[in-house]
A and B are shown apart, each in its own frame.
Chain A
Amino acid sequence: MSYFEVKNLVKRFGGLVAVNNISFSVEKGEIFGLIGPNGSGKTTIFNCINRYYSPTGGKIYFKGKRIDKLPTYEICRLGIGRTFQVVKPLRRMTALENVMSGAFLKTSDVAKARDRALEVLDFCGLFRYRHFPAKGLTIADKKRLEIARALATEPELLLLDEVAAGLNPRETEAAMEIIQKIRSSGVTILIVEHVMKVIMGISDRIMAINFGKEIARGTPQEIVNNEEVIKAYLGESYAQGK
């Protein structure tokens, strides 16, 4: 049994099949990337994993335990953290309080939660903004805050949903650095990303999907050369003409 496994996942919204029979597994310690054009179902897969949505069909296992029927908070308690593509900062709380809210998962002691939160803020390069209200942060820092908050719950598996989208090149570099640092601290990462530089640069394996279906899977090298992937991103004529 794999460390984390999605089996025949299906999510339907009325007549629309957003995720159509997706299966994959992630091994401990790896960075697994998920790519696909807009609306291909990447975020829906994430939302099914942490049960923000209930899957229509299929099974999800984490460390051998079936989790697709558990409530969202229980999934976090098992060790799966996530960030949101459309950032959800706790707006009127400071950056520190945001991260503390995550840190309270492992301790009920306020001082301990604060220490842990400060550590994580430092790790993510947000230490100097710790007393800023979250709503006042830039988008890049809000994305970091998403990561910091999820990290504070001390996850074993971290779901990163487009943490580099909308960032400038320097901020993107910094985000990649943080992701690498998280991985070397022993956290397994499942990442959805549009910014190719990020996902190709850090993923061990990538799965490409389109219209909710898997179209390719392999190393970053294999993926960039895959005809189906090129077709999905750039259109049929480009794929044939090359």
Chain B
Amino acid sequence: MLKKFWFLSIIIVIAIILPLIVQSSYYRHIFILILIWGALGVAWNLLGGYTGQVSFGHAAFFGVGAYGAGLLAFHLHISPWWGMIVGPVAAVIVSIPIGLICFRLRGPYFALAMLAVGEICRLVFTQWVSLTNGAMGILTLTTFSSKLPYYYIGLAILSFSVYTVYRLMNSRAGYYFVSIREDQDAAESLGIPTTKYKMYSLIPSAFFSGLAGAFYMNYMNYIEPSVVFSLPDVSIMIILVVILGGVATLWGPVVGAIIFVVLSELLRSSLGPAHLLVFGVIVCLVIMYMPNGIMGEVDRIKKLLQRKGARIGSEIT
């Protein structure tokens, strides 16, 4: 317990002072991307990992959050930072009818419905030019010239989402989420209203996805439907990030986000779009050899390292 506390404190301190040490705005940009992907992964993981309701369309929430912020600036000419409230709320509003309809059913309905919702959003936001400016996207003005404020806002969002998931998973709701994932019939027979608790998992998940989207808009200052509602680059990528880091683990999505972002930045210049291939291979290897993801197998990894250490030690003596 104490060890965990120290470990967490060290990570927090590093996260706070890291951008002060690293002055390069390119590296700071990478850190910010990690924070956005981390928050998105944590949001997906709450619903898909802990509650077992896999979504193939979280881009819908991300994009609605981003457009929630962008449209405020575009139509009403007010600061897109207000979108940090409007965006996530809009994402939640989108999520509620989907959940109410699909969560009564079992099987892959929710996953497929989300896939459809993500694509519908992309098409609507592309075609409805009078509202969204269509494929031309929305451009806003940069608020801060330095990356530093963005970094800390991103860090706050990620911390907020991780903390919320931590609190949820250590309460009755968390036990209920996992029960629903493990066996819905058993959960019902224990008095758990499963539809309701799936909603309790969906709503924060949509909220944090929307928040990440709204922040993305404010940070990038430019969004277009094909980017924020992308099926392969957002919806599917979140799932891979979480699988890589560890499904249903608190820190897995963050670890996955670090690996994904760093890797794609490293390989993008040399391999171009094929950098995704490398990432795909890594995900395959993780699924084959570490089915619970990196954070899910952390104990096993530790044990392996210790055994190796012990063997080396015995050879010396």
| CB-defined contacts of B103 to chain A, threshold 8 Å | none
Contacts A73-B194, A101-B190 hold; do A90 and B182 have CB atoms under 8 A apart? yes
Can you identify 18 A-B contacts, CB atoms within 8 angstroms? A74-B191, A74-B193, A76-B188, A76-B190, A84-B186, A88-B183, A89-B183, A90-B178, A90-B187, A91-B183, A101-B175, A104-B175, A104-B176, A105-B191, A108-B171, A113-B175, A150-B189, A153-B191
Chain B 165-198 interface residues, beta-carbon cutoff 8 Å to A: 170-172, 175-176, 178-179, 182-183, 185-194
Given contacts A71-B193, A101-B179, A108-B171, 13 further A-B contacts (CB under 8 A): A52-B188, A52-B189, A72-B188, A73-B193, A89-B186, A90-B179, A90-B187, A91-B182, A92-B182, A93-B179, A113-B172, A113-B175, A153-B191
Cβ-closest chain A residue relative to B179: A101
Across the interface, B187 reaches (CB within 8 A) one of A52, A74, A101, A108, namely A101
Contact with B along A73-93 (1 / 0, CB 8 A): 110110001101000111111
Decide if A205 is an interface residue (CB 8 Å cutoff): no
Chain B 142-186 interface residues, beta-carbon cutoff 8 Å to A: 170-172, 175-176, 178-179, 182-183, 185-186
Would B171 and A110 count as touching, CB distance under 8 A? Answer: yes
Could you list which residues of chain B lie within 8 angstroms of chain A, going by C-beta atoms? 170-172, 175-176, 178-179, 182-183, 185-194
Centre residue among A90, A91, A92, A97 by max chain B CB count within 10 A = A90
| CB-defined contacts of B188 to chain A, threshold 8 Å | 52, 71-73, 76
> Complex formed: what's the CA distance from A95 to B213 in Å?
39
| CB-defined contacts of A50 to chain B, threshold 8 Å | 189
Contact with B along A99-141 (1 / 0, CB 8 A): 0111011001010010000000000000000000000000000
| CB-defined contacts of B189 to chain A, threshold 8 Å | 50, 52, 72-73, 76, 81-82, 84, 88, 150
Would B176 and A101 count as touching, CB distance under 8 A? Answer: yes
Centre residue among A72, A92, A108, A149 by max chain B CB count within 10 A = A72
CB distance from A143 to the nearest CB of B (A): 13
> Complex formed: what's the CA distance from A152 to B186 in Å?
13
Would B190 and A149 count as touching, CB distance under 8 A? Answer: yes
Would A93 and B182 count as touching, CB distance under 8 A? Answer: yes
| CB-defined contacts of A93 to chain B, threshold 8 Å | 178-179, 182
Cβ-closest chain A residue relative to B197: A73
Could you list which residues of chain A lie within 8 angstroms of chain B, going by C-beta atoms? 50, 52, 71-74, 76-77, 81-82, 84, 88-93, 97, 100-102, 104-105, 108, 110, 113, 149-150, 152-153
Would A110 and B172 count as touching, CB distance under 8 A? Answer: yes
Cβ-closest chain B residue relative to A149: B190
> Complex formed: what's the CA distance from A102 to B39 in Å?
31
| CB-defined contacts of A101 to chain B, threshold 8 Å | 175-176, 178-179, 187, 190, 192
CB distance from A82 to the nearest CB of B (A): 5
> Complex formed: what's the CA distance from A90 to B171 in Å?
17
| CB-defined contacts of B192 to chain A, threshold 8 Å | 73, 101
> Complex formed: what's the CA distance from A93 to B183 in Å?
11
| CB-defined contacts of A82 to chain B, threshold 8 Å | 189
A-B pairs, 10 with minimum CB distance: A76-B191, A90-B182, A72-B188, A88-B186, A105-B191, A101-B179, A104-B172, A108-B172, A102-B190, A88-B183
Centre residue among B187, B189, B193 by max chain A CB count within 10 A = B189
CB distance from A77 to the nearest CB of B (A): 5
CB distance from B249 to the nearest CB of A (A): 12
CB distance from B296 to the nearest CB of A (A): 11
> Complex formed: what's the CA distance from A110 to B172 in Å?
7
Would B185 and A52 count as touching, CB distance under 8 A? Answer: yes
Cβ-closest chain A residue relative to B186: A88
Contacts A104-B172, A104-B175 hold; do A77 and B182 have CB atoms under 8 A apart? no
| CB-defined contacts of A108 to chain B, threshold 8 Å | 171-172
Centre residue among B171, B179, B186, B194 by max chain A CB count within 10 A = B186
> Complex formed: what's the CA distance from A89 to B172 in Å?
18
> Complex formed: what's the CA distance from A110 to B176 in Å?
12
> Complex formed: what's the CA distance from A84 to B183 in Å?
12
Cβ-closest chain B residue relative to A109: B172
Cβ-closest chain B residue relative to A100: B175
| CB-defined contacts of B190 to chain A, threshold 8 Å | 73, 76, 101-102, 105, 149-150, 152-153
> Complex formed: what's the CA distance from A72 to B183 in Å?
14
> Complex formed: what's the CA distance from A82 to B190 in Å?
8
> Complex formed: what's the CA distance from A215 to B186 in Å?
31
> Complex formed: what's the CA distance from A149 to B185 in Å?
13
CB distance from A14 to the nearest CB of B (A): 21
| CB-defined contacts of A74 to chain B, threshold 8 Å | 191, 193
| CB-defined contacts of A90 to chain B, threshold 8 Å | 178-179, 182-183, 186-187
> Complex formed: what's the CA distance from A102 to B191 in Å?
8
| CB-defined contacts of A150 to chain B, threshold 8 Å | 189-190
CB distance from A68 to the nearest CB of B (A): 16
Across the interface, B170 reaches (CB within 8 A) one of A77, A88, A91, A110, namely A110
CB distance from A146 to the nearest CB of B (A): 9
CB distance from A78 to the nearest CB of B (A): 9
Cβ-closest chain B residue relative to A79: B191
